[in-house]
Amino acid sequence: MRFLNKVDEFKQEATNALFTKEQAIAVAIKLFDAELADPSNSEEDIRVLTDARQRVSIHYFDNTASHVDEILDSVGVARLTAHDIAQAIDIMLFESK
């Protein structure tokens, strides 16, 4: 698997940003799409990235299911970091290999 330039750029650009769960999912999908558009992808890169993109779900970003978590989600509190998103992407990629 090649180095993921767009994911690395995202980590640098969004270092201090906070995201809602919905935004985190949208960002992950867009990052996978950007990586898939790279013409230097091998067939294996495309296979892994496509599989990882299909795995995107909230489970990778937050698996907390407490009452307080539901309250925070209901009012749209942004509490996921760029690091959290990048880490979730790494896990999805690992599971796709």
pLDDT in tens, 58-93: 999 887 778 998 899 899 999 999 999 999 999 999
> Across all residues in the chain, what is the average pLDDT?
94
Average pLDDT of span 2-24:
94
When pLDDT is averaged across residues 16-22 and rounded to a whole number, the result is 95
For a pLDDT cut of 90, what percent of the chain falls above it? Answer: 85
DSSP string, 45-93: HHHHHHHHHHH--GGGT-----HHHHHHHHTT---EEHHHHHHHHHHHH
pLDDT band, very low/low/confident/very high, at 27 (cuts 50, 70, 90):
very high
Mean pLDDT, rounded, for 40-53 = 97
pTM for the predicted model, two decimal places = 0.90
What whole-number distance in Å separates Cα of residue 57 and Cα of residue 29? 10
Question: Do 62 and 31 touch, CB atoms closer than 8 A?
Answer: no
